[in-house]
Amino acid sequence: MARSALLNVMTQAAMKAGRGLIRDFGEVQNLQVSMKGPADFVSNADRRAEEVIFQELSRARPDWGFLMEERGTVEGRDPQHRWIVDPLDGTTNFLHGLPMFAVSIALERDGQLVAGVILNPAMDELYTAEKGGGAFLNDRRLRVAARQRLPESLFATGIPFLGQGDHAASLYEMRQIMGETSGIRRMGAAALDLAYVAAGRFDGYWERALRPWDVAAGAVLIREAGGFLSGMDGEKFDHMQGDVACGNEFMHKALVEQLRQATLRRQAASASRASDPA
């Protein structure tokens, strides 16, 4: 597959960071058996990967700005272009020696997402997409799954953890979708969830309270693979807002409806508890 100059720049930065993460991943697996544990080591691995990406992209496009997980916002001289970068999506997986983590790089032009690269270095899977150019896994063209029956579908989501997110809402959503589909998966890396929807491995995905670097590259992949994205209530997708629901045209609409039903059930349960004199 012949990539554009832009995608070559993004791919080279992701792969260079990925090589470092694979070396660090081998070390973190060894640290699992130590008393000290690998948490500090993983934080350093994250920062090293981000520094590699920052240097590579700055060298190639010195005037462009950044929005990065660790560095935050870095203003560029060119206000039209901004890189959105997650150097290690799936940090908890990485910390526990699970090979489901990714480097995610997207390009925003005038506020619109125009290119995305997601690399899972542990599995040697490189996902690339550019607006109008299609989506690819390594050299294979991607299309979202064509299924149109919820009982045959497989969805992915994120699950809130200690001190984070709306646990009650998540449980209502999963209970609703469990009853309509063949299964739900929780991968622990939003970028890979989105890439898997683009690749047709998942029929859809939803999650709340994500950050721009979690979803930006994956959103480009899904659109270029023929998929649809919105907020969880069906509103226009905005990578800066944090909520996402996606799939093919049918599954996206069905997912949004199931999430609406989950919200109604939760509201009814809350109203019932409020009216209970006990």
The reply to whether 214 sits in an annotated binding site is yes
Please give the Cα distance from 45 to 40 (Å, whole number): 9
Record the tokens describing residue 40, joined without a space.
Answer: 């500090």
Which element (helix H / strand E) includes 210? none
Tell me if 195 sits within 8 A of 209, measured CB to CB.
no
The reply to whether 46 sits in an annotated binding site is no
The reply to whether 40 sits in an annotated binding site is no
Please give the Cα distance from 275 to 278 (Å, whole number): 9
The reply to whether 24 sits in an annotated binding site is no
Comparing CA positions, the residue from 148, 112, 118, 153 lying closest to residue 132 is 112
Please give the Cα distance from 221 to 256 (Å, whole number): 20
Comparing CA positions, the residue from 237, 208, 8 lying closest to residue 107 is 8
The reply to whether 233 sits in an annotated binding site is no
Comparing CA positions, the residue from 147, 105, 102 lying closest to residue 123 is 102
For the chain, the farthest-separated pair of C-alpha atoms sits apart, in whole angstroms, at: 68
Other CB atoms within 10 A of residue 180 CB: 15
- Known binding-site residues for Mg(2+) equal 69, 86, 88-89, 214
- Known binding-site residues equal 69, 86, 88-89, 214
